[in-house]
Structure 1
Amino acid sequence: MGIASSLRLFGKAPASYLFNGFRRQMKNPLMKKGVVYAGVSGTCAAAGYMFGNFVMEKHIYQVKYTEEQEKEVLEVENRLQNLKIVKDLRQNPSFRELRMPFNRSNHSLTNNLLSGPGRITVPPVIFYDKSTRQVYAIAHVGKDVGLDDDTIHPGLIATCMDEVLAICSFLSLPNKIAVTANLKLSNPTKAYTNHFYILRSHLEWTKGRKAQTHGTAYMLDNEDPSKSTCVAIADGLFVEPRFAKYLKHVIPVSL
């Protein structure tokens, strides 16, 4: 049933009145522009939504693990959950827990190329305290990202420390986003693969859009996880972009 047929149910006079009123309104130039803009906006919104879904489907891909890899992941996950520091922080009401699953994006470094069995084996467990601006990240580094002597390249440690320091800076900045302005890293001793690491960071000071953070990385002993060795000391300066308020939607989590 068409619009005109539907309106006839209410009588010819109301139908005629509505159609004549619509014709008069359409003669108004502002009304015509409004209708055109509304149509174009609706079309663009629909096209953008469909294109976004298409891109996401192509951008994210599924990764299938072998039986041996699944066994490795489950073993590391069980050991991670049983670490004393994880249990203690989980019971501490001051800390909130955060865990971001691996994003299988073709264009991601830490969440794709450096993640998975033999690399950063499972998603790191992150704990943060908003009041004291402290962050703890517990991660496992596998054997496939090591050098010939099973040591870890300082660049990998620097990358991980940069992310932990950045999360710490987010806690103190109004829009929860910043970029690395300066990162200083020292390595007191060598770091080895197939170990758990505790990455710690805390806020030192903030001034306007700047935040200075300090952090350390500890390697846990596989035989006695209560023992640890400091393998990195880092200091980072982070700056919130002037247009950060327009980038809130790109942050995958809310701190």
Structure 2
Amino acid sequence: MSSRRILARSFAAQRVSAAPLSSPPPARILLAPFASPSLHRSFSASSSIGAVTAAQISPTSAGSAPPPPPPPPNSSKPRKSLLHGVLRISLLALKYLVAPVLLVIAGYASTRYAMAAVSAPAALHPAAPASPASTDPATPPALDVDTALLDIPLVRQLRADPAWIETRPHDRIPDAFREHNLTAGPLAGPRRLTVVPIMFSNETTNETVGVFHLGRDLCGHPGIVHGGMLATILDESLVFTAFPVLPSHVGVTASLSINYRAPAYADNFYALKGHVEKHEGRKAWVHGHIETIPTDGKPPVTVAEAELLVVEPKWAKSLPNFFTT
């Protein structure tokens, strides 16, 4: 054994004997005889760091008290009463059961009322006056209605005024085209447009007056003339009103606006009155309305009125013109 190791061991023994008994010797002194100086220094530093870290982490070594335990859950929360549950169930029943049943009952009642209104029109609407064609069954209806038409005071007044020109435009349509014309073919005949409508035109004031009879086969609701039929008469008659002011005396409907004012009862005579409000080149704006022809001295009632824009197309020369000469 070398002299250096002997001196180191004796020196360590003196240090251990001189150290107090109350404090344990450091780890670096106990391991000093068995380790190199570099290993001794690293282990001593690691031991001291580990001691400090444990002291910092352990709360008891620092002298602080342990943290208090978490509070117990609140067990005094009030419970929902039985009344609250019953009320909630009642509201759910009202929402998902009672409300749909009420809606079904309301729909059924409204449907029954609508069916009753359609099946019993006489209780909801006044009866239409009897047609003159029904006064004499032995007389042909068209001849009887035409005689009654010519006897209307408005027709007699216009026929006596030389400023008004009387025409029956449907009579000018050739037979080959008449059956394909809506108002002269399918809509003409007994219980429809019973007789050929009569038209009066005033070229000075650009006005027209037409008189026609609407039968019971032209109805929408029972006893009431269909609104589409009134629109057809307004369209066709007001275009006829615009023909004289157009360059080629022929035109087509560009727009039509209709307001329905009162029901038009079937099996009655009606008058159409129209006039040109303004015209510019190939365009003409026409206003007109359909009114009743009362026989009891009361004023006429407007059943529908319309605004019409008539345009002469660029291909107007290719259209046949049966209504003006």
Instruction: Give the TM-score normalised by the residue count of structure 2.
Output: 0.54
User: In structure 2, what is the equivalent of residue 18 of structure 1?
Assistant: none
Mapped contact 2:220–2:227 kept (Cα < 8 A): no
Matched ranges for 1:89-238 at <5 A: 89-101=158-170, 105-221=178-294, 223-224=295-296, 227-238=299-310
C-alpha displacement of 1:71: 1.5
User: In structure 2, what is the equivalent of residue 80 of structure 1?
Assistant: 149
Matched, 1:243 2:315: yes
1:187 and 1:202, CA in 2 relative to 1: closer, same or farther beyond 3 A? same
C-alpha displacement of 1:141: 0.4
Mapped contact 1:69–1:117 kept (Cα < 8 A): no
Structure with the larger strand share: 1
Relative contact order higher in (CA < 8 Å, ≥ 6 apart): 1
1:113 and 1:188, CA in 2 relative to 1: closer, same or farther beyond 3 A? same
Identity of counterpart residues, as a percentage? 34
C-alpha displacement of 1:143: 1.1
User: In structure 1, what is the equivalent of residue 140 of structure 2?
Assistant: 71
RMSD: 2.0
User: In structure 2, what is the equivalent of residue 254 of structure 1?
Assistant: 324
Mapped contact 2:192–2:214 kept (Cα < 8 A): yes
C-alpha displacement of 1:146: 1.3
CA distance in 1 between partners of 2:201 and 2:297 (Å): 21
The code of the aligned residue for 1:181 comes to A
1:69 and 1:147, CA in 2 relative to 1: closer, same or farther beyond 3 A? farther
C-alpha displacement of 1:254: 2.2
Per-residue Cα deviation, 1:212-253 (whole angstroms, up to 9, x for no partner): 0000100223x5376421101100001001122343xx1113
SS of the residue corresponding to residue 323 of structure 2 reads coil
Structure 2: stretches of 5+ with no match in the other structure? 1-136
CA distance in 2 between partners of 1:152 and 1:187 (Å): 12
Structure 1: stretches of 5+ with no match in the other structure? 1-67
SS of the residue corresponding to residue 183 of structure 2 reads helix
CA distance in 1 between partners of 2:315 and 2:170 (Å): 28
1:252 and 1:70, CA in 2 relative to 1: closer, same or farther beyond 3 A? farther
Mapped contact 1:188–1:230 kept (Cα < 8 A): yes
User: How many aligned residue pairs are there?
Assistant: 186
Structure number, greater radius of gyration:
2
C-alpha displacement of 1:193: 0.5
Mapped contact 1:220–1:226 kept (Cα < 8 A): no
Mapped contact 1:138–1:197 kept (Cα < 8 A): yes
1:101 and 1:180, CA in 2 relative to 1: closer, same or farther beyond 3 A? closer
1:200 and 1:98, CA in 2 relative to 1: closer, same or farther beyond 3 A? same
